[in-house]
Amino acid sequence: MPTLVEVTADPTADRPEDAAERARPTRQSGRRMAIAAALVVVVLAGVGLVAWRTVPERWLPWDTAEFPEVDASELTPGQVRVVEAVRREHAAQRPGTFFSEGADEPWCANFVSWIMRAAGSPLANPHSGHWRIPGVYTLQEYYAAENRFEAVGGYVPRVGDVVLYDRSSGFGQHTNIVVAVDGETAVTVGGNEMGRIRIHSLDWRSDGGVVGFGRGLPG
């Protein structure tokens, strides 16, 4: 008579319901990670949209435009020198500290100061007499004291003029230089625009950030 062997179930072996129970947290964790990733995408999209709406229209698109063709025959020698100095620096793309004598600071006004000195029409800081004016408000003070400040309104900017923006411009006070004018649109070149020297178009009549212009010197 054959011997009967009793088979006893291994108490440590997985039951189907045990395997399903262990798999459930993994699936739940995966769902939580997917939800978290989706929330991150939504938040980043919202931040990008806010930034897009905050950036002044004159700074869009992000990439800088090509330097415009400027008809020098219609410019004074002083205007030509400004345009050529700006053209050289736009091509060179030097860091902001080059224009600020090594100071690590916002450098849009330093860029304007440096260009004017390079063009043979240096500015004079009203507080020190130095050629470099590091602040936009002080730059406006300088032009006002020289009777060369023109409030935005009826004035039509010319090549070589300096544009002055207040804090409502989207990124605080700012300044840049006019290198071309076509109707009611000016082409400007500025330092420290998204960290570099950039070219953009400016509709000065509709841009609420523009407070006025510093007139270039005649001749």
Q: State the DSSP H helix or E strand holding residue 201, giving kind and residue range, or none if neither.
A: strand 196-202
Residues in the chain predicted with pLDDT less than 70, given as ranges, are 1-64, 168-171
Provide the pLDDT for residue 61: 56
Among the listed residues 179, 184, 165, 182, the one whose alpha carbon sits nearest the alpha carbon of residue 216: 179
For 141-189, the pLDDT digits (tens) are 999 999 999 999 999 999 999 999 997 656 689 999 999 999 999 999 9
List the structure tokens of 39. 């929330």
pLDDT number for residue 32: 62
Residue 65 confidence (pLDDT) = 75
Q: What is the pLDDT of residue 24?
A: 55
Q: What are phi and psi of 83, to 5 degrees?
A: -60, -45
Please, what is the Cα angle at 62 between 167 and 69, to 5 degrees? Answer: 100
Question: Which of the 8 DSSP states describes residue 3?
Answer: P
Residue 167: the pLDDT is 79
According to the model, what pLDDT value does residue 201 have? 92
pTM (2 decimals)?
Answer: 0.74
SS3 16: helix
Cα angle 207-218-193, degrees, rounded to a multiple of 5: 35
pLDDT of residue 136: 97
Q: Output the pLDDT for position 45.
A: 44
pLDDT at 66: 84
pLDDT at res. 51 = 40
| Per-residue pLDDT at 58 | 60
Count how many Cα atoms sit within 13 Å of the Cα of residue 79 in the half-sphere of its side chain: 19
Q: Which CATH class is domain 61-214?
A: alpha beta
